[in-house]
Amino acid sequence: MRNPEIYSERRTGRLNDITIKLEDAKKEIVREADESDKIFALRINDVVSKSMSHYWKQEASKRYNMRVPVWENYLLFCINSFRNDSRYEFVNYKKGLERGVGLCSSHSIVVKGILVDNDIEAQLWDIAGHVVVRAKVSENEWYILDPDYGLVVPHDIPEIEANPEIVRPAYAALASLYKPEYDDPYTTDHVVEIYGKEGNHIYTYDPTFEVLSYLAIWLIPVLLMLPIGLSFRKRKI
């Protein structure tokens, strides 16, 4: 599902936006035998950041399969065709990584999925519209992972909300991640501000429909073919 053109896409707002190819990313996300939860979580945050592009422009929805292709899942393709915005964010992290484009929530869904699959507790947090991952990196220690930027805040949500300034060191070089011509970058001051806003909350999604749709795309043809098969069998008898 990943279009290789994304590796040379110039219209993203980030410098060095995507540097790891999908086949390499799949190898990198495999946990090593001696990796601690913390080392693995930090490494995965970096790998996902470098293997997905921060790109979600309507003009490229077909080129980069932001609209689910009919050959991938014809049910999701048809349903999203009737929406004003046909782009679709996968909740299956493997599909999100395979496609390789998205915004902060897409990156964070992938990181959370990998961590949970490796028995590391993780949640998605909506920080005034910016989605990050809260991960348990060791006993009684939680970090905030921001794979959209490849950054790590070595503090937990309660600490941050009590003193948002503690995220400033992690985001101090934020401006250097953007291309000079990008017209609406997040600033360090803005990020510090949103981490302190009231109303930040766990970001949730319901995977039920997506899961069922991937089962249904195989079940529906079988059910449609069943009467033909039964009819053929009766004739043969």
Domain ranges of the chain: 4-205, 206-237
**How many percent of the chain have pLDDT more than 70?**
97
Please classify residue 34 by burial: count the beta carbons closer than 10 Å to its beta carbon, then call 0-12 exposed, 13-18 middle and 19+ buried: exposed
Q: Could you give the angle at the alpha carbon of 60 between the alpha carbons of 100 and 63, nearest 5°? A: 65
Specify the pLDDT at position 226: 80
| Segment 89-135, tens digit of pLDDT | 999 999 999 999 999 999 999 999 999 999 999 999 999 999 999 99
Specify the pLDDT at position 225: 83
- Return d(Cα 64, Cα 54) in angstroms, integer: 12
How far apart, in Å, are the Cα atoms of 86 and each of 31, 62, 176? 35, 10, 32
Q: In sequence order, what are the residues at sequence separation of 6 or more whose Cβ sits closer than 8 angstroms to the Cβ of residue 51?
A: 18, 19, 20, 21, 22, 24, 25, 28, 97, 100
The mean pLDDT of the chain is 93
| Segment 163-203, tens digit of pLDDT | 999 999 999 999 999 998 888 788 999 999 999 977 899 99
Confidence of residue 233 (pLDDT cuts 50, 70, 90): low
User: What is the DSSP pairing of strand 141-146 with strand 130-138?
Assistant: antiparallel
| Segment 62-87, tens digit of pLDDT | 999 999 999 999 999 999 988 989 99
Q: What is the pTM of this model?
A: 0.92
- Return the number of other C-beta atoms located less than 10 Å from residue 93's C-beta: 21
Instruction: Assess contact for 164 and 196: CB atoms under 8 A.
Output: yes
Task: Tell me which of 232 and 59 has the higher pLDDT.
Answer: 59
94: left (phi over 0), alpha (psi -120 to 50) or beta: alpha
Instruction: Assess contact for 89 and 96: CB atoms under 8 A.
Output: yes
Crossing angle of helices 208-236 and 74-81, rounded to 10°:
120
